[in-house]
Amino acid sequence: MRWLRRITRRFGRSPLFLVYHRDYEYTMPAIPLDPQRGARILAFLHEEGLVRRREIADPRPASMEAILRVHTTSHVESLDRVETATQVFGVPVLDDQRQRVLELQRLAAGGTIQAVRLARRTGRIAVNLGGGLHHATADRGMAFCMLNDIAIAIAHLRRHGFTERVLVIDLDLHDGNGTRGIFADDSTVHTFSIHNNDWEPLGGIESTSIALGTGVADDTYLTALRESLPPVIAAYEPAFVIYVAGTDPAEDDRLGDWMISAAGMLDRDRFVLDEVRRLREDVPLAVVLAGGYGGGAWRYTARFLSSLLAGHVVEPPDDLTVVLRQFRHGREALLVEEPDDGWGLTEDDLVGIAPGAPRRARVLGAFSRHGIELSLERVGFLEEIRRCGFEHPTVDVDFSSGLGETIRLWGDVDRRELLVELRLNRNTSAVPGMEVLYVEWLLLQNPRGQFSDAMPRLPGQEHPGLGLLREVVAWLVMICETIHVDGMAFAPSHFYMAVLGRHHVRFLDPVAQDRFEALHRAVARLPLPEAARALAEGRVVDAATGRPVVWHAELQVYPVSERMKQIVGRKEGRVAQEYHFKLLAPSS
C-alpha cells in the first residue's frame, strides 16, 4: 500500500511540515535521550511514503539576538562555562561536550522558530523533531535545558508583528516551569501544563497547572485532560498554539513514573489536535517533541504523525527492523557479491596486511579486521559509541580461540576500556540441517557508567550495559545475510538476556519457548533487575510442586533464511505446553 500512498500524496496537500536537522543526533553521555529519535520518526514516515522532501524544513541555529530577547545576559554568558552545563545535566561535562550540546540546543531553538514561522504562514501543523526545552527560565538552565526554545520562538513571533494570544499546551511528564515563569506577567501567553509534580515557581497571570502525582494511568490522565483543556481553549481563544508533546508519560519511559499506554498517548495527541481545530480550523499549531527517554520514545510521535498523514495509524516496525533498515542503507556501498573481500576491501587496500593473506586471518573466513572496522563505521555503530563518550573506538580481532574468532571493541587506542567482546563461529550442528552464526559469548559494557537505583546491577555484570544490544544484533543479522547462513543462534546464560531479546529471537525448542513465556508472565509486574533477583533467590516457583524454577541456557535463534523462518513459523503454530509459575513475596 506504500506505493498507493505515495501516488495519493503526490497530488495532495500535506497537513503538516516537519523541521529536522541531522545535527539533532547528539546527546550527552549518561543521559538516556535517544539521539536518533527525530531521525527514526522521519525515516519511518518516509519509508511509508507519508512525507516528501519539500515538506521537510532545515532549521538554522537561533541567533544571539533571538536568545537575548528571552534570556538574561548573565545566563547566556554562564553557558560558556563547564560548571553551568554540569549543573544543568547533573553529570560531569567536558568542554567539548558543553559546546556541542549548546550548539544543539541553539539549533533546536531555531527549529522551533522555523516551526512557528511555517505554521503561521500556512495555517498547517509544523512539527519540530526536537525542542521542547521547557525547564530553562530567563536566568537559569535546569533539567537538561540550557535554553527555552518555546519562549524564544514566541518572542520571535512578537518581533515579527504577531501580537495575538498564544496558548502553550504542555503535556510533558514534567512541569513546564520555565515557560510558565518566563510568561508569568504576560497576559498574551497562557501556559497550560498537566504533569506529575509541581516545580517552582507556580502561578502567573495566565496559567493552568495540574499536578497528578505518580503512578498515573490512562483513565486519570485522559479524564484530567478532557475536563481541563476545552474550557481553557474556549475562554482564552488563542490565535496560535504550541503543543509540547512530551512522550515521557508513556509506561516504558526510562525516566518516567506514569503508566500511559500507547493507545492512551495517541488518544491524548488526537484530543489536543481536535480541540484546537474545534476552535478554528486554521489556527496555527506548532509541535515540539520535549521529553521522552529510551529507545522507544520515537514510536509515540510516529503513530500520531502517521495518523495525521495517512488518515489512520500506521504501526511503526520493531526496533530491530528499524536498525536493520538503517544499517542496510549504510551497507549498500560496502558489500560485494562474494564476501571474501571483507565488505569491499581487498588485502591490497589494507595497511599492514600483505597481499594473499591466508583466510584464517579473516573473521568467519570472510572479513578482515579492517573490513570489520569499516563496516561498523559505515553502518553508524562506531558513531553511536562516540556518542557514549568514547572518542577513539578501536577494533581488535583475536583468532587464537578454538571456539571461534573474538572481536573486541575498545573505547580508547590504548585498549584500557573494553566495551564489546564478541566470540563467533559458523556452526552446522546446533540446528539440524542448517548452518548458523553461533554467538559463543557477547559482552556489552560501559566501564565509565555507574550502577544506580535507575540502573541496578544485573547478574554477571561488572559494569552497566552500553544500551546498544539491538544495534549489535542488527549487525550480526547483516553478517548472516552476507555469508549466506540460515540464521543466528545463541544460548542466553541469564533470564534477563532472554527478556531483552524476546521480541526478536525465539527458543528453538518450542517447549522451552512456552516455559520462558510462562516465566516472563510470572514476573512481568517487576522491573527486570528485580525479576532476575527473584529468580536467583528461588522466589519463582512451580505452582503445582512449589519447587523453585531454575534457569536453563537453551538455544535461541533468529531466522534469516526462508527455510529457517518456515521451521520457526511451524513451531509457533503448535499447541502450547501449559506451565504455571508463581512469584513469592521476598522473605522479611
Q: What is the 3-state secondary structure (H, E, C) of 416-449?
A: CCEEEEEEEEEECCCCCCCCEEEEEEEEECCCCC
| Residues 154 and 244: beta-carbon distance below 8 Å | no
How high is the pLDDT of residue 416? 93
- The pLDDT value given to residue 588: 57
User: How far is it, in rounded angstroms, from Cα 482 to Cα 334?
Assistant: 11
How many angstroms separate the CA atoms of 579 and 588, rounded?
28
Q: Which of 234-238, 350-354, 462-466 has the highest mean pLDDT?
A: 234-238
In this prediction, residue 507 has a pLDDT band, given cuts at 50, 70 and 90, of very high
CA atoms of 343 and 447, how far apart (whole Å): 30
Range 407-418 average pLDDT: 94
Closest by alpha carbon to 532, among 465, 583, 477? 583
pLDDT for the residue numbered 347? 39
Mean of pLDDT values over 216-221 = 97
Mean pLDDT of all residues in 61-74? 96
The b-or-e profile of 20-49 (16+ CB within 10 A means b, else e) is bbeebbbbbbbebbbbbbbbbbbbbbeebb
Task: State the CB neighbour count (10 A cutoff) for residue 344.
Answer: 15
Place of cell 530553562: 136
Asked if the peptide bond before residue 201 counts as cis, ω within 30 degrees of 0, the response is yes
* Beta carbons within 8 Å of 110's beta carbon, 6+ residues apart: 59, 60, 61, 62
pLDDT at 201 over 90: no
Q: What is the pLDDT of residue 338?
A: 35
Q: Which of 75, 135, 370, 463 is catalytic?
A: 135
Q: Count CB-CB contacts under 10 A for residue 516.
A: 22
Is residue 401's pLDDT more than 70? no
Q: Is the pLDDT score of 349 beyond 80?
A: no
**In sequence order, what are the beta bridge partners of 208?**
192
Closest CA to 267 of 298, 222, 313: 222
Q: Any idea how long the chain is?
A: 588
pLDDT of residue 539: 94
**Quick one: cell of 2?**
506504500
Average pLDDT over residues 243-258: 94
Q: Would the pLDDT of 334 be above 50? A: no
Q: What is the mean pLDDT of residues 324-343?
A: 50
290: left (phi over 0), alpha (psi -120 to 50) or beta: left
Residue 74 pLDDT exceeds 70: yes
Q: How far apart are CA 496 and CA 517, in angstroms?
A: 12
Q: Where are the domains of the chain?
A: 2-310, 318-490, 493-588
User: Which pLDDT does position 337 carry in this prediction?
Assistant: 31
CA-wise closest residue to 371 among 409, 337, 334: 334
Note the pLDDT of residue 269.
Answer: 98
Q: Given this model, what pLDDT does residue 569 score? A: 74
Q: 402: pLDDT confidence band, cut at 50, 70 and 90? A: low
Specify the pLDDT at position 77: 95
CB contact burial 395-404 (16+ within 10 A = b; e otherwise): bebeeeeeeb
- Among 142, 134, 118, 103, residue whose Cα is nearest residue 24: 103
> Which are the contacts of 281, defined by CB distance < 8 A and separation ≥ 6?
none
Q: Picking from 84-98, 343-357, 445-459, 479-493, which range would have the lowest pLDDT averaged per residue?
A: 343-357
Active site residue 135: yes
The pLDDT assigned to 60 comes to 95
218-236 and 262-279 helices, crossing angle to 10°: 10
What's the confidence (pLDDT) of residue 287? 98
pLDDT for 327 beyond 50: yes
Question: So what's the pLDDT on residue 343?
Answer: 42
Return the residue matching grid coordinates 498523514: 309
Q: Which range, of 62-76, 252-266, 487-501, averages the lowest pLDDT?
A: 487-501
Q: What share of the chain is helix, strand, coil (3-state, %, to 5)?
A: 40, 15, 45
Fold annotation for 2-310: Arginase; Chain A (3.40.800)
Distance CA 382, CA 57 (A): 28
The pTM of the full predicted model, rounded to 2 decimals, is: 0.75
How would you list the strands of the sheet with 285-288, edge to edge?
Answer: 56-57, 16-19, 125-128, 285-288, 240-244, 166-170, 189-195, 207-211
Residue 374 pLDDT greater than 90, yes or no: no
DSSP category for residue 174:
S
Mean pLDDT estimate for the chain: 87
* % of the chain exceeding 70 in pLDDT: 90
* Closest among 203, 294, 210, 277 to 243, alpha carbons compared: 277
Place of cell 490565535: 239
Of 221-230, 319-328, 433-442, which range is least confident? 319-328
Quick one: pLDDT band at residue 378, thresholds 50, 70, 90? Answer: confident
Residue 357: what pLDDT? 41
Over residues 169-188, mean pLDDT: 97
Query: Which of 36-45, 114-123, 427-436, 569-578 is least confident?
Result: 569-578
The contacts found for 522-527 with CB under 8 angstroms, 24 or more apart, are 522/581, 522/582, 522/583, 523/583, 526/583
How far is Cα 312 from Cα 549, in angstroms, rounded to an integer?
44
Cα 90 to Cα 31: distance, rounded to the nearest angstrom: 9
- Spatial CB neighbours of 323, under 8 Å, sequence gap ≥ 6: 470, 471, 473, 474
Q: Is the pLDDT of residue 274 over 50?
A: yes
361 bridge partner residues: none
Task: With cut-offs at 50, 70 and 90, classify the pLDDT of residue 465.
Answer: confident
pLDDT category of residue 137 using cuts at 50, 70 and 90: very high
DSSP character at residue 506: E
Q: Rounded mean pLDDT of 391-409?
A: 85
Residue 84 has pLDDT above 90, yes or no: yes
- Can you tell me the mean pLDDT for 547-561? 93
- pLDDT value for 12: 54
Residues 11-31, mean pLDDT to the nearest whole number: 81
Residue 158's Cβ-count burial label (10 Å; 0-12, 13-18, 19+) is middle
**Does the pLDDT value for residue 454 go beyond 70?**
no
Measured between alpha carbons, how far is 238 from 30 in angstroms, rounded to an integer?
39
Instruction: Provide, rounded to the nearest whole percent, the portion of the chain with pLDDT above 90.
Output: 62
Q: Strand, coil or helix: what is 317?
A: coil
Helices (H), 460-506: 469-483, 495-500
User: Cα–Cα–Cα angle for 492, 494, 498, nearest 5°?
Assistant: 55
